[in-house]
Amino acid sequence: MEFVDESSIEKHREKIRHSTAHIMADVVTKIYPKTKLAIGPPTKDGFYYDFQVETPITDESLEKIETEMIKVMKQDLKFEYTEYSRSEILDMHKDEPFKLDVIKDIAEDVPISTYKHGDFEDLCGGPHVESTGMIPAFKLLSVAGAYWRGKEDQPMLQRIYGTAFESNEALDEHLKKIEEANRRDHRNLAKQLDLFSYQDELGPGLIIWHPKGSKLRSTIEDFWKKEHIRYNYDLIYTPHIGKSTLWETSGHLDFYKENMYPVMDLDGQEYYLKPMNCPFHIMYYRNDIRSYRDLPIRIGELGSVYRNERAGVLHGLLRVRGMTQDDAHIFCRPDQIEDEINKVLDLTFHLMKTFGFENFEIMLSTKPEKSVGEIARWDLAIESLKNTLISRGLTYQIDEGGGAFYGPKIDINIEDAIGRLWQCTTVQFDFNLPERFGLNYIGEDGNAHQPYMIHRALLGSLERFIGVLTEHYGGAFPLWLSPIQVSIIPIADRHIDYANNLASKLGASEFRVDVNTKKERMNAKIRSAQMSKIPYMLIIGDKEVESNNISIRHRSGEDLGVMPFDDLLNKLHLDRDLLK
């Protein structure tokens, strides 16, 4: 079978996957007779089917289910389409509560159909492949829990995930992609590269940054600060706790309390650990009378915040309880909004491209039903966001009603080396806090006006960003980010002095250098540097000492030859500073 374009292969896969889900449901209902069926749609990468079963389905059961599915496929049963009247359908499904729920949502005048193969008939609009024999390649992947209709107050169902493809080759390719993603998992790489850890005794979602991870992080922080100063931000520092009155004014105690750590009592005053930086930046803004001439004011901080994330959502660096946001709040006049958004986007793309991200997906979220702030402000803000995106020629999707209650926002997802999207950047208007804190500036007319407030985090949080960055590079960071940039490998002990001397000369140019003086053979030292993904290895033996040269090897395996120190330094500078 050949496919002329992407969309036709996608449609074909949908049919295969949907059909595979039916076959799986067929088998599951036979192995677990009291199963109630929920829904089983195709997804971007495969399919799933949700069941309510009496005994939990385990990973071991998957094999059995697969085996039975293959039998059904071998029988090559036709998928037969039938339309029913509403009363027939309701009667057929009287013992299937979830199906009844689905039927309720189907409009009265629409015909209701099923697809049947063998003796298994499932409520379904199709389409399907012609028969069960037309599933070229499939695999069941995992079992998971899932709420009915994705709502927490609904029953918890058992979900089986699987995937199916038009050929074994395509399936293999997909499985390899999953493997590749696992190979890049930042949690494993963090152990291998000794970047960070989290430990039982500490508490979940709290990160200990090891020296190498800290080096990576501070390199990012230094770069971030330098660029923010260049883009005319004022960087400040604020405390980690604040009095309850602050959080009452900000509204966090009303709307965000369940995410905040419990109250601390001190001298009869209540304090809270901060879940966000905004109120502190506002404290700075409000510390002085502001003129329209002062605006825009851009206040930035690498602000550490603590949030009581629900235990089940924690995940490595990507979801933690203590994190540092690359936060900033911009206070500006209405006529400055568009320019400010433009500048934020300039800075975002500049940072992201420097970190090696080239492709982005942009979401614009508009006013939800429940919201604060005048309509005119919402309209102006949304228009400004749109105009800026359009004038830059950026394509974006609109999430209608997806904004926060306090303002519209742009989220930017970055695409990593293996095509996955990660949400890092968020640019949000806030009509709530300026109102609550009574922020103002004195306008040209001598009257007080409320400033626009834009909240933005570009990397998101350093934790998440470093997690993403680690997976993007598979741990092989570019030179400027590598915790150790150069490993010097003396072949024998008599070369150590030369190696140390070389290390201090490179150190003088601010390269991060390690001299491997272990009692190992050169090959073992190379291997060790290789496993640590150190970009450059400098081999020092008799030949180098005699000729006053250095032998260079790159972690790619390439032998870069022998050169004098000045050439080496130029080469490293070029890689670190110009190719960055």
Q: Which residues have a catalytic role annotated?
A: 278, 307, 325, 327, 329, 409, 455
Under rule CB under 7 A, which residues in 328-357 are in contact with RNA? none
Query: Facing residues of 165 across strands?
Result: 137
257 scored as a contact of RNA (CB under 7 A): no
Q: Which amino acid is present at 486?
A: V
How far is it, in rounded angstroms, from Cα 173 to Cα 102?
A: 35
Under rule CB under 7 A, which residues in 501-520 are in contact with RNA? 518-520
158 scored as a contact of RNA (CB under 7 A): yes
Lookup: tokens for 315: 């995940």
Q: Which amino acid is present at 527?
A: R
Residue 498 Cβ, how far from RNA at the closest point, in Å? Answer: 11
CB 431 within 8 A of CB 334: no
277 scored as a contact of RNA (CB under 7 A): no
Provide the pairing of β-strand 156-165 with 47-52.
antiparallel
Cβ proximity to RNA: between 114 and 461 the closer is: 461
Residue 252 Cβ, how far from RNA at the closest point, in Å? Answer: 13
Nearest to 352 by CA among 392, 412, 301, 429: 412
Residues 6+ apart with CB under 8 A from 339: none
User: What is the chain's Cα-based Rg?
Assistant: 29
Nearest to 269 by CA among 237, 247, 238, 284: 247
- Residue from 143, 302, 332, 433 binding RNA (CB under 7 A): 143
How far is it, in rounded angstroms, from Cα 514 to Cα 576?
A: 17
365 scored as a contact of RNA (CB under 7 A): no
Residues 6+ apart with CB under 8 A from 120: 22, 25, 26, 29
58 scored as a contact of RNA (CB under 7 A): yes
How far is it, in rounded angstroms, from Cα 288 to Cα 273?
A: 25
Q: Produce one character per residue of 305-325: b if its CB has 16 or more CB atoms within 10 Å, e if not.
A: bbbbbeeeeeebbbbbbbbbb
Cβ proximity to RNA: between 116 and 436 the closer is: 436
156 scored as a contact of RNA (CB under 7 A): yes
**H or E, element range at 552:** strand 550-554
557 scored as a contact of RNA (CB under 7 A): yes
166 scored as a contact of RNA (CB under 7 A): no
Measured CA distances, 178 to 45, 47, 144, 204, 468 (Å): 11, 15, 17, 26, 16
- Residue from 77, 220, 273, 491 binding RNA (CB under 7 A): 491
Cβ proximity to RNA: between 9 and 545 the closer is: 545
- Residue from 457, 486, 502, 506 binding RNA (CB under 7 A): 457
How far is it, in rounded angstroms, from Cα 275 to Cα 68?
A: 51
Applying CB under 7 A, the site for RNA has a residue count of 74
Can you tell me whether residue 193 is helix, strand or coil? helix
Residue 552 Cβ, how far from RNA at the closest point, in Å? Answer: 7
- Residue from 119, 493, 510, 566 binding RNA (CB under 7 A): 493
Residues 6+ apart with CB under 8 A from 266: none
423 scored as a contact of RNA (CB under 7 A): yes
Cβ proximity to RNA: between 336 and 532 the closer is: 532
Cβ proximity to RNA: between 63 and 577 the closer is: 63
Cβ proximity to RNA: between 117 and 409 the closer is: 409
- Residue from 25, 62, 112, 424 binding RNA (CB under 7 A): 424
Measured CA distances, 1 to 74, 136, 166, 265, 428 (Å): 20, 11, 9, 70, 48
Match 């999430």 to its residue by tokens: 399
Lookup: tokens for 571: 């080469």
Cβ proximity to RNA: between 241 and 313 the closer is: 313
Task: Choose the binding region for RNA from 124-132, 148-156, 389-397, 435-443 (rule: CB under 7 A).
Answer: 148-156
CB 51 within 8 A of CB 145: no
Can you tell me whether residue 184 is helix, strand or coil? coil
Residue 341 Cβ, how far from RNA at the closest point, in Å? Answer: 17
Cβ proximity to RNA: between 58 and 395 the closer is: 58
418 scored as a contact of RNA (CB under 7 A): no
- Residue from 9, 102, 146, 170 binding RNA (CB under 7 A): 146
Residue 425 Cβ, how far from RNA at the closest point, in Å? Answer: 7
Cβ proximity to RNA: between 93 and 495 the closer is: 495
Under rule CB under 7 A, which residues in 103-142 are in contact with RNA? 142
Lookup: tokens for 467: 């997690």
Lookup: tokens for 68: 């039975």
Residue 57 Cβ, how far from RNA at the closest point, in Å? Answer: 7
**H or E, element range at 331:** strand 322-332
287 scored as a contact of RNA (CB under 7 A): no
Under rule CB under 7 A, which residues in 521-550 are in contact with RNA? 521-524, 526-527, 530-531, 537, 539, 541-544
Under rule CB under 7 A, which residues in 299-328 are in contact with RNA? 307, 309-316, 318-321, 323, 325
Task: Choose the binding region for RNA from 130-138, 373-381, 438-446, 488-496 (rule: CB under 7 A).
Answer: 488-496
Under rule CB under 7 A, which residues in 201-230 are in contact with RNA? 203-205
